[in-house]
Structure 1
Amino acid sequence: MKQWLFILILSLGISKFYTQTNPALQGNEKNEVDFDPALKKNINSKQIKIYTESYWQSNQKNDIHGQISALLNLAKLNFECHQNYNNVLAYIKEIEQLADKDDYLVLSESQAIKSSILIKLGLQKKAKKYIDEEGILSNKILDEDDKRFAKTLYYGSLSLFYKSQNKQNSVIYFSKKQMAEAKWMSDINPTKYSKIIEAANILSTTSIELKDYKSAAYYLKIQEKYIENTSDIKNLSLYYLNKAIFETETTKDIHAAFQDLKKAENLALKIEDEYLLNLIYPKIANVYKSKNDSKSQITYLRKSEKIKEIITENEWKTLQALTLDVNEKNDNAFKKYTLFTSLALIFFAILFFLLKDKVKIQPGGDNSLPDSETNTDEKNFYIEDLYQLALQDDASFYPNYIKKFPHFESQFLQINPSMKTSDIEFCAFMKLGLTDKQIAESKKLTLKAVIAKKYRIRKKLNLSLDIDIASWISKFIN
């Protein structure tokens, strides 16, 4: 009787699980643009204030072109400084609502910004769709100079896309095409030199990665040639960073490399570009290490860790707004997978109990089950015990789990030795099929904190957002 009662409770639990509403998907229907110039870190606050004022003046005059221009500048400024991608996406959404369907240049620019954000967040498949759309739109532009500018954006997006996949040959191919388009642009176009330097930056970086120092030197010279014609601080900082890496790997001139790294750092700090600082700080720390200056090395390593935390937080906030559809699809797929698995377990459990009863009533037969079946039964109930310990956040859960699955921890540490016990315990919760809500209740955390923790674990495991982490753990980790 107890066995049948357990099956009934399990069935009701599954039914309840599939009728619950996911709270993470609620309260996100409205996406308003935040035009408050007093932003968190006041990055280029003067320019933001100017563009914001320009937007409102254009809005009052019903000047659509003026509104779009101001919004594009706000989007670019926020994107280039990596402050808050949520703001950028809100600006882009407003731009696409205001723009005419045949304003191909504006729409192409908006696709380029969106694809860049998605690539940085690891959503390559979704990014590629926007890049393809960007290419189609750029071909429809009639003005020759505007078309060339749009093409530089398109080839730049493709270069970034293939860089995220470590396909250096493709990066070089599309960066060269980007540079060629930029060189054909009119000299009076203010973006011409920035685009040439941008392409040369990527080409020099990739050449250094491939140990092609001759090509790297060539592209550094191109940057030096055009650098005085632009006020692009980001590309100037990247130039000094690449130059420092080149000097370190070729001439071994640590002093010159250090001076260039400090120039790169000061420029990145000027625009508070976290992604640039994330590249620069570890390089400076390495220089201090070579000088046996442990104190300064530790200082820059701590700065690097702090920047990584900021980047992770910004990415997570964006994912909250950006990938609800991805999460919902993954959640639905996981629920279906769990439903079918659970129904199969129930079916086999019923079949098992029926066969067990049949064996018991056979005259003169052996009433005991074979050892393998007994062990399976005990294992199922042991997993149920672990499940209950997890729900109660019992301190004995993790030791008992590792005792039962001795290779579970080592498999994660082989992937990333920096994974903490708390990370692996979270993975054990997911392996047992606990929902985000159940984990939050067990660990006395907010749902937001649980989602953030899972995102950090995903980063440590190097899993793209197209992969459901719970399903991946269930499939590949024993």
Structure 2
Amino acid sequence: MDAHKLCSVINIRTVLLLLFILFSTAFYSQDKARRRSIDSLGNIIKDKNVYADKGSKEILRLCTEIYYQSKEINYNKGMLQAILKMSEVYMNERNYELSLKKISEGKVLSGKENDNVALSSFLLGEGMIYSEMGYTKKSRYALQQSLELADKLPSQDLHVKKAAVYRSMARNIRQEGNVNHYDSILIYLNKGYSESKKMNYNFSYKPLYLSSFAMDMAKEYFRTDKISESEKYLNDFQIYMKNERDRSEFIYYYLLKGNIENKKKNYNTALEYFDQSRQIVNEYKIYTNALEDIYSGQAEAYRMLQDYKNEAVYSTKAKKITDSISSSEKKILNTIVANGDTVKCQKENLNYSYWLFILPCLLGVGGTAYIFFRKSRDEEENEYIRNAENELPVEEYNISFEEAISPQEKERQELEIEDLKELIELVHNNDKSFHLKFHEHFPLFNQQLLTINSQLSHSDLEYCALIKLKFDTKEIAKYKNVSTSSVFSKKYRIRKKLDISTNANIYTWMFNIG
């Protein structure tokens, strides 16, 4: 090669190298700028006054924006922030189904990232929800896992997580309703109180932690008729909260003050406190479940004042909320938050002259590839549907679970035959609480499937649950109110998503998961 050609080759390579460096730098800078933008939004939702400043709906909107912007650039830290806050908002609104769904997604993602702080938070949230719903064993298991992870965290995170876990453990014992465990509740509350006091002085959430434990101590002493002790901790609560802008926690302060005044037979004063509590609920649109106790307290005050008309009014209101809460804990929603609350992500400015040139080419190539792929997939799907009826027949529901279970499964949580019958009965009754109950009996099932493919939809997971319980195509179609061909197609797509071999029986495969 002569010198002239050699110089030409070197010049071309140099230009290509420079172009590569230029584009890499541009994309890196753009990616870095978007991360800074996401982190800026993240700081908004992490602010302790966010509920006062934004409200729950706006928080969810911001979280959704953060989630999809982060997902677009594979920024897992941003996704975890958004998922954690979403699960918190849904939990506050007692929408436990959506909260557990976000927690399940967050656990998988934090596990992949080895983010023990986030994982501990998700386990804590899971424990709190199970406690509120009365599943105290499941709650204790999740809380214990959260506590074990907390011991591995830096000191500040350690004190925060331990305080929150101890508070939830106290609530767990309270849910079980054993009066002999009163001392245990106070022990856990005092442990959490102590951890809160160890937090850094400049930690902005420290007053909120201290005030929450003061409030819980006040409630415990009130339950045992130790009114003076209860009022002492209510005074402490006021001191801790004196510089806080967010007044939402005063919902419970005024509620408890009202109950105390009822005990003291100061019924008109009690009604004033209950009214103040209700006004804050309406202002912040948070902790609406407190309305049940507010209305009950008002009904009691009116009864003692012999105002039976108002007593009936507020008793009815309290009962409606009780029935509503009971119903909401059973209800399962069939859409993910992304379908209902999706906010279009902000798009970066593009070089339109470049895209006007390249877009027709991409469309042409993409269209051809899609037609070829679609034809190939349709042929494969039709072949699957033609052979689908030959799949393993569904076994009778009264089979011995001990005989059907695999050795690996025996090492996991054992399920009573009655539990299995309960799940099957929910499907036969077309009860939409099925998937929530299924998740309670098989807590690892969804998590393991999402580990294989994190893109599985809620609908995919529900079909997988039905397959695990050995429902045949016709039964699934009846429960989902779709055609049998739709079920065949759905099974085919699930196989693809989970990379299940066409030679493998999908029922056997699902049975060995979770």
Do the aligned residues in 1 keep the contact of 2:262 with 2:301 (CA within 8 Å)? no
1:209 equivalent among 216, 219, 223: 223
Do the aligned residues in 2 keep the contact of 1:109 with 1:153 (CA within 8 Å)? no
CA deviation string 1:399-421 (max 9, x = no partner)? xxxxxxxxxxxxxxxxxxxxxxx
Do the aligned residues in 1 keep the contact of 2:63 with 2:86 (CA within 8 Å)? yes
Do the aligned residues in 1 keep the contact of 2:332 with 2:432 (CA within 8 Å)? no
CA deviation string 1:204-261 (max 9, x = no partner)? 11101111223212111110101223345542211111122222223x3222221111
In structure 2, relative to structure 1, the CA distance for the partners of 1:104 and 1:435 (3 Å cut) is: closer
2:158 equivalent among 115, 137, 147: 147
2:275 equivalent among 262, 265, 268: 262
Do the aligned residues in 2 keep the contact of 1:437 with 1:447 (CA within 8 Å)? no
Give the aligned partner of residue 193 of structure 1.
207
CA deviation string 1:337-379 (max 9, x = no partner)? 9x9xxxxxxxxxxxxxxxxxxxxxxxxxxxxxxxxxxxxxxxx
- Whether 1:177 and 2:195 are equivalent positions in the alignment is no
1:245 equivalent among 259, 263, 276: 259
In structure 2, give the amino acid aligned to 1:259: E
Give the aligned partner of residue 431 of structure 2.
448
In structure 2, relative to structure 1, the CA distance for the partners of 1:239 and 1:157 (3 Å cut) is: same
In structure 1, give the amino acid aligned to 2:277: A
Q: Which moved more, 1:132-141 or 1:292-301?
A: 292-301
Distance 2:122 2:115 in 1: 11
Distance 1:436 1:78 in 2: 25
Give the aligned partner of residue 129 of structure 1.
141
Distance 2:329 2:281 in 1: 19
2:96 equivalent among 73, 78, 85: 85
In structure 2, give the amino acid aligned to 1:103: D
Do the aligned residues in 2 keep the contact of 1:436 with 1:450 (CA within 8 Å)? no
In structure 1, give the amino acid aligned to 2:330: W
Distance 2:229 2:303 in 1: 29
Alignment of 1:342-361 (within 5 A): none
Give the aligned partner of residue 457 of structure 1.
none
In structure 2, relative to structure 1, the CA distance for the partners of 1:313 and 1:274 (3 Å cut) is: farther
Do the aligned residues in 1 keep the contact of 2:124 with 2:146 (CA within 8 Å)? yes
Distance 1:184 1:48 in 2: 32
Distance 1:200 1:333 in 2: 51
Q: Deviation at 1:78? A: 1.3
Do the aligned residues in 2 keep the contact of 1:201 with 1:242 (CA within 8 Å)? no
Q: Deviation at 1:68? A: 0.8
Give the aligned partner of residue 128 of structure 2.
116
CA deviation string 1:267-293 (max 9, x = no partner)? 223324342112211101111222232
Distance 2:425 2:90 in 1: 37
Q: Deviation at 1:334? A: 8.0
In structure 2, relative to structure 1, the CA distance for the partners of 1:255 and 1:318 (3 Å cut) is: same
Give the aligned partner of residue 68 of structure 1.
80
Q: Which moved more, 1:271-280 or 1:306-315?
A: 271-280
Alignment of 1:7-18 (within 5 A): none
In structure 2, relative to structure 1, the CA distance for the partners of 1:235 and 1:272 (3 Å cut) is: closer
Q: Deviation at 1:89? A: 1.2
Do the aligned residues in 1 keep the contact of 2:146 with 2:165 (CA within 8 Å)? yes
Matched residues, number: 303
Alignment of 1:29-428 (within 5 A): 44-82=56-94, 84-100=95-111, 102-141=114-153, 143-166=154-177, 167-250=181-264, 252-269=265-282, 270-317=284-331, 336=400
In structure 2, relative to structure 1, the CA distance for the partners of 1:129 and 1:333 (3 Å cut) is: farther
Distance 2:96 2:423 in 1: 25
Distance 1:57 1:295 in 2: 54
In structure 2, relative to structure 1, the CA distance for the partners of 1:206 and 1:182 (3 Å cut) is: same
Q: Deviation at 1:196? A: 1.2
Q: Deviation at 1:138? A: 0.7
CA deviation string 1:11-50 (max 9, x = no partner)? xxxxxxxxxxxxxxxxxxxxxxxxxxxxxxx972122112
Distance 2:289 2:236 in 1: 24
Do the aligned residues in 2 keep the contact of 1:247 with 1:253 (CA within 8 Å)? yes
In structure 2, relative to structure 1, the CA distance for the partners of 1:130 and 1:334 (3 Å cut) is: farther
CA deviation string 1:61-118 (max 9, x = no partner)? 3221111111111111111121x21211121122122214642221111111101111
Distance 2:185 2:285 in 1: 26
Query: Normalising by structure 1, what TM-score?
Result: 0.57
Query: Normalising by structure 2, what TM-score?
Result: 0.53
Q: Deviation at 1:190? A: 2.8
Distance 1:440 1:292 in 2: 48
How large is the Cα RMSD of the aligned pairs?
3.4
Distance 1:438 1:125 in 2: 24
Q: Give the secondary structure class of the aligned counterpart of 1:447.
A: coil
Do the aligned residues in 1 keep the contact of 2:131 with 2:139 (CA within 8 Å)? yes
Distance 1:77 1:439 in 2: 28
Q: Deviation at 1:439? A: 10
CA deviation string 1:163-184 (max 9, x = no partner)? 1123221111111111121122
In structure 2, relative to structure 1, the CA distance for the partners of 1:271 and 1:218 (3 Å cut) is: same
Do the aligned residues in 1 keep the contact of 2:217 with 2:230 (CA within 8 Å)? yes
Distance 1:147 1:44 in 2: 28
Do the aligned residues in 1 keep the contact of 2:170 with 2:184 (CA within 8 Å)? yes
In structure 1, give the amino acid aligned to 2:76: I
Distance 1:333 1:200 in 2: 51
Distance 1:180 1:438 in 2: 47
Q: Deviation at 1:309? A: 1.8
Distance 2:203 2:434 in 1: 45
Q: Give the secondary structure class of the aligned counterpart of 2:431.
A: helix
In structure 2, relative to structure 1, the CA distance for the partners of 1:234 and 1:112 (3 Å cut) is: farther
Q: Give the secondary structure class of the aligned counterpart of 1:185.
A: coil
In structure 2, relative to structure 1, the CA distance for the partners of 1:230 and 1:77 (3 Å cut) is: farther
